């Protein structure tokens, strides 16, 4: 669509909220759906691809994440306008008008009008000349397909008629708050008006398979994906479900994040780390040129020249050999989420002075005695780089029974070797890493796991499709996750960042060979490289202890108590009852800050109501009561 119909969107939003297949509203009130990846990096208004040299500006690599998602590389979403040797090239991400069906705004008319996907003009009723606006009803399926609501099929089923899209269709009763009072009728055949009652209903049959009202009426999903092309469709056996086009269940982005870590196993090898840091500072073009070298000797010579002969040929050779060894380990061994995070987790215990990750572990003995009873390690993460990649999306509800390859099919219509990439953003920041004391947390867990409220929550969580990264909900995860939320809420008062600027990354696993009980609280901004150091300074001895103590104290009381605790323990609160004692007044964060949808939280894991020892930090408050 042209500039007059444009929607300004941040690059980070294209990864999380408004990626391919998602709808958003432009300044004229028109709902536009973002086109698939086949149409990215093309010249405005055409299907002509940008030159490889322009596209290369947006390419970057993250070997661990690329292997995990089975792609060659990642690409940052393109700028709307690209400068090429002083010339401006328009290259916005295309979008089309959707839904196609519009409704006349004249309440005495309400005619249904179908409009072209590329029509940018104001739509008016052909009969009364009143403005027409896009219908609020659409339909979708759990395989990610999306289409207009099947007005004609809905009418034909109820009236046993033979209406077509060329018939004169109109709505009745759109001013009602209830969908059951909204009706559609055919003026051409003068048929009775049919209510839309039940179009949102979905359920499970005796075998646990999803079914819907539309499916029961014989209206199947035709497999439409309008963002991939107007006529794109495929065979689909999932039930079609009615939805509101602006409802939250229309688009659940599927993203994967990764912290860029030194690829070399021996972090003590300062020479290799220096080379890696220098290599990362090279331009994308230089990196592409070096990586395209098939011969190792040629690659060594190219890298020596690119680094301005700062390092000897032997040093560069050693670096490349160790890098290849590290990549081989990555390519062969990464299987589970726990293994993936464990690679990051162990890096926080060693000092890394330069490169893609800069860390400084602090002496735990320099912190207060009470602090060392509960925590075993503190690390200042002075610099970090996070890759956030989009690999697909769900509709109706988030799922865990689809593969990455299945999700990727919804992003492009014509996959090939050239298109083996995914959209991603690379963000830079700083952080604080904390490791809980393993012996104490495991001892506490043995008692907390007997809690009846926790057992019920664990059953709900383990049967939910939302938490596909969790093999099983453990008390340790509940504790560390809740603590991360409370700490973020406290840090915003201390370091000056907004709540939405701080994020959590959880490292929790009980397996003996990959045991970890840590959290990383970090800030990452896609608009600037690095940060001001305000968060890192909070990790210093004498500063961190009172912040954490205040966060712990805040867990013992909520402005919604006793309701918050009672409702949480009675049956759970929040979406699907996935929280215990946790609500918007105490432990919830902006959605972008939390890894698990603001779920699986319980202040009772931090401190119990009566400080009876069931909370991990109960004895801290017993020995140091709240003033």
The pair of structure tokens assigned to 570 is 């009675």
Q: Is 230 within 8 Å of 152 (Cβ atoms)?
A: no
Q: How confident is the model at residue 554 (pLDDT cuts 50, 70, 90)?
A: very high
Residue 397 has pLDDT above 60, yes or no: yes
Residue 527 confidence (pLDDT): 45
Mean pLDDT score, 291-309: 75
CB 446 within 8 A of CB 616: no
The predicted pLDDT at position 27 comes to 85
pLDDT in tens, 143-179: 999 999 999 999 999 998 889 998 999 998 766 668 8
Q: Quick check: 367 and 423 in contact, CB under 8 A?
A: no
Residue closest to 243 by CA, chosen among 397, 407, 393: 397
d(CA 438, CA 374) in angstroms, rounded, equals: 9
- Residues 226 and 183 sit within 8 Å (Cβ to Cβ): no
How far, rounded to the nearest angstrom, does the alpha carbon of residue 15 sit from its chain's CA centroid? 7
Distance CA(316)–CA(303), nearest Å, equals 7
Residue among 596, 567, 597, 563 nearest 580 (CA) = 567
Number of structural domains found in the chain: 1
Place of tokens 């780089």: 385
Min mean pLDDT across 273-282, 285-294, 349-358, 435-444 is at: 285-294
Task: Give the pLDDT score at 196.
Answer: 92
The answer to whether the CB of 352 falls within 8 A of the CB of 381 is no
Q: In this model, does residue 197 exceed pLDDT 50? A: yes
What average pLDDT does the segment 277-293 reach?
Answer: 69
Report the alpha-carbon angle 269-273-274, nearest 5.
Answer: 115
> How much is the pLDDT for 268?
43
C-alpha 95 chain-centroid distance: 21
**Of 119, 95, 99, which is closest to residue 242 (Cα–Cα)?**
99
| pLDDT tens digit sequence for 576-618 | 899 999 999 999 998 888 988 899 999 999 999 888 889 999 9
Does residue 239 lie in a domain region? Answer: no
Q: Encoding tokens for residue 613? A: 């020892």
Is 129 inside any structural domain?
Answer: no
Of 280-294, 378-392, 478-492, which range is least confident? Answer: 280-294
Which DSSP helix (H) or strand (E) runs through 253?
A: strand 252-259
Q: At 333, list the tokens.
A: 């061994």
| Residues 6 or more apart whose Cβ sits within 8 Å of residue 104 | 110, 111, 112, 113, 125, 127, 128, 130, 131, 132, 170
pLDDT tens track for 8-59: 888 888 998 899 999 999 888 899 999 999 999 998 867 888 888 888 889 8
540-549 exposure pattern, b = at least 16 Cβ within 10 A, e = fewer:
eeeebeebbb
Using pLDDT thresholds of 50, 70 and 90, give the confidence band for residue 303. Answer: confident
The Cα 290–Cα 490 span in angstroms is: 46
Nearest to 580 by CA among 551, 609, 619: 609
Say what the pLDDT of residue 266 is: 47
Cβ-based burial of 411 (10 A; exposed 0-12, middle 13-18, buried ≥19)? buried
The residue among 591 and 188 whose pLDDT is bigger is 188
474-500: burial string, b at 16+ Cβ within 10 Å, e else: bbbbbbbbbbbbbbbbbbeebbebeee
pLDDT over 80 at 255, yes or no: yes
Calpha distance 332→65 (Å, rounded): 13
Question: Higher model confidence: residue 481 or residue 210?
Answer: 481
Please check whether residue 208 lies inside any domain of the structure.
Answer: no
pTM of the model: 0.82
- The region of weakest confidence among 48-52, 312-316, 501-505 is 312-316
Q: E strand or H helix at 11, and its extent?
A: helix 11-16
Closest to 243 in 3D by CA, of 209, 201, 210, 203: 201
Better pLDDT: 443 or 417: 443
Does some domain include residue 322?
yes
pLDDT of residue 293: 67
Q: What is the secondary structure of 523-545 as a DSSP string?
A: EEETTSSS--SHHHHTTSTTTHH
Q: Where are the beta strands (DSSP E) in 456-501?
A: none
333-342, 425-434, 440-449, 506-515: least confidently modelled range: 333-342
> Is residue 380 situated within a structural domain?
no
Q: What pLDDT sits at residue 625?
A: 59
DSSP 547-568: HHHHHHHHTT--TTTTHHHHHH
The yes-or-no verdict on residue 627 having pLDDT over 60 is no
Report the C-alpha dihedral over residues 260, 264, 266, 272, rounded to 10 degrees: -110
Give the separation between CA 219 and CA 488, rounded to whole angstroms. 48
pLDDT digits (tens, 9 = 90+) for 48-60: 888 888 888 898 8
CB-based contact 127:115 (threshold 8 Å): no
Position 133 scores a pLDDT of 93
Tokens of 510: 């009980």
Q: Is residue 19 situated within a structural domain?
A: no
Q: List CB contacts of 168: < 8 A, sequence separation 6 or more.
A: 111, 186, 187, 188
* Structural domain range at position 274: 261-333
Question: What is the average per-residue pLDDT within 92-120?
Answer: 90
563 pLDDT above the threshold of 80? yes
How would residue 529 be classed by pLDDT, with cut points 50, 70 and 90?
A: very low
Kindly report the average pLDDT of the chain as a whole number.
Answer: 86
Per-residue model confidence (pLDDT) at position 270? 63
Q: Does pLDDT of 205 surpass 70?
A: no
CB contact burial 119-146 (16+ within 10 A = b; e otherwise): eeeebebeeeebebbbbbbbbbbbbbbb
**pLDDT of 285 higher than 70:** no
Instruction: Answer yes or no: is pLDDT of 526 > 70.
Output: no
Q: Distance (Å, rounded) from C-alpha 467 to C-alpha 452?
A: 21
Average pLDDT over residues 386-410: 90
In a domain, residue 282? The reply is yes
- The C-alpha atoms of residue 359 and residue 343 are separated, in whole angstroms, by 15
User: Residue 97: which of 8, 4, 227, 241 has the closest Cα?
Assistant: 227
- Measured between alpha carbons, how far is 93 from 77 in angstroms, rounded to an integer? 8
Tokens at 576, concatenated: 């699907």
Instruction: Categorise residue 73: left if φ over 0, alpha if ψ from -120 to 50, beta otherwise.
Output: beta
Least confident of 75-89, 292-306, 471-485, 570-584: 292-306
The verdict on residue 283 lying in a domain is yes
């Amino acid at each position: 669509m042209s500039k007059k119909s444009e929607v300004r969107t941040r690059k980070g939003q294209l990864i999380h909220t408004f990626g391919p297949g998602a709808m958003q509203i432009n300044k004229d009130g028109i709902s536009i759906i973002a086109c698939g990846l086949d149409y990215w990096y093309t010249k405005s208004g055409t299907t002509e691809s940008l030159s490889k040299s322009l596209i290369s500006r947006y390419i970057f690599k993250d070997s661990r994440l690329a292997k995990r998602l089975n792609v060659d590389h990642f690409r940052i979403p393109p700028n709307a306008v690209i400068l090429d040797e002083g010339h401006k090239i328009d290259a916005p991400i295309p979008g089309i008008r959707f839904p196609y069906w519009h409704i006349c705004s004249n309440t005495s008319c309400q005619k249904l009008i179908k409009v072209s996907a590329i029509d940018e003009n104001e739509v008016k009723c052909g009969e009364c000349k009143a403005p027409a606006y896009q219908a609020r009803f659409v339909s979708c399926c759990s395989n990610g397909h999306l289409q207009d609501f099947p007005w004609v099929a809905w009418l034909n089923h109820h009236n046993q008629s033979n209406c077509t899209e060329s018939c004169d269709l109109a709505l009745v009763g759109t001013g009602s708050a209830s969908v059951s009072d909204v009706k559609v009728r055919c003026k051409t055949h003068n048929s009775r008006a049919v209510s839309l009652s039940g179009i949102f209903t979905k359920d499970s049959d005796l075998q646990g398979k999803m079914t819907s009202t539309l499916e029961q009426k014989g209206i199947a999903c035709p497999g439409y994906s309008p963002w991939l092309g107007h006529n794109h469709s495929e065979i689909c056996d999932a039930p079609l479900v009615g939805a509101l086009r602006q409802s939250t269940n229309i688009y659940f982005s599927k993203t994967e994040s990764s912290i860029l870590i030194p690829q070399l196993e021996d972090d003590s090898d300062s020479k290799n780390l220096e080379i890696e840091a220098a290599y990362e500072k090279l331009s994308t073009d230089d990196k592409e040129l070096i990586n395209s070298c098939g011969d190792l000797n040629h690659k060594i010579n190219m890298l020596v020249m690119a680094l301005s002969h700062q390092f000897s040929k032997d040093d560069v050779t050693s670096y490349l050999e160790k890098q290849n060894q590290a990549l081989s380990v990555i390519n062969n061994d990464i299987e589970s989420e726990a293994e993936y995070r464990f690679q990051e987790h162990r890096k926080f215990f060693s000092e890394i002075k330069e490169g893609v990750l800069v860390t400084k572990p602090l002496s735990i003995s320099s912190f207060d005695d009470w602090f060392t009873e509960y925590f075993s390690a503190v690390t200042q993460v002075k610099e970090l780089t996070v890759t956030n990649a989009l690999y697909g999306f769900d509709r109706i509800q988030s799922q865990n029974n689809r593969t990455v390859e299945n999700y990727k099919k919804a992003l492009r219509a014509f996959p090939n070797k050239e298109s083996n990439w995914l959209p991603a953003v690379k963000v830079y920041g700083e952080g604080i890493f904390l490791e809980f004391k393993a012996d104490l947390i495991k001892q506490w867990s043995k008692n907390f796991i007997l809690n009846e409220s926790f057992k019920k929550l664990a059953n709900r969580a383990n049967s939910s499709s939302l938490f596909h990264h969790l093999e099983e909900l453990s008390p340790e995860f509940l504790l560390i996750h809740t603590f991360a939320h409370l700490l973020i809420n406290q840090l915003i008062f201390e370091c000056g960042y907004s709540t939405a600027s701080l994020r959590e990354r959880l490292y929790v696993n009980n397996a003996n060979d990959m045991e970890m009980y840590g959290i990383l609280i970090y800030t990452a901004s896609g608009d600037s490289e690095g940060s001001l150091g305000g968060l890192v300074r909070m990790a210093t001895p004498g500063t961190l202890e009172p912040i954490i103590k205040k966060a712990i104290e805040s867990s013992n009381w909520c402005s919604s108590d006793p309701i918050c605790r009672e409702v949480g323990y009675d049956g759970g609160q929040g979406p699907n009852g996935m929280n215990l004692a946790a609500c918007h007044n105490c432990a919830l964060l902006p959605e972008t800050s939390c890894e698990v949808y603001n779920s699986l939280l319980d202040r009772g894991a931090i401190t119990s109501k009566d400080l009876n020892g069931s909370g991990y930090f109960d004895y801290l408050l017993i020995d140091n009561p709240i003033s």
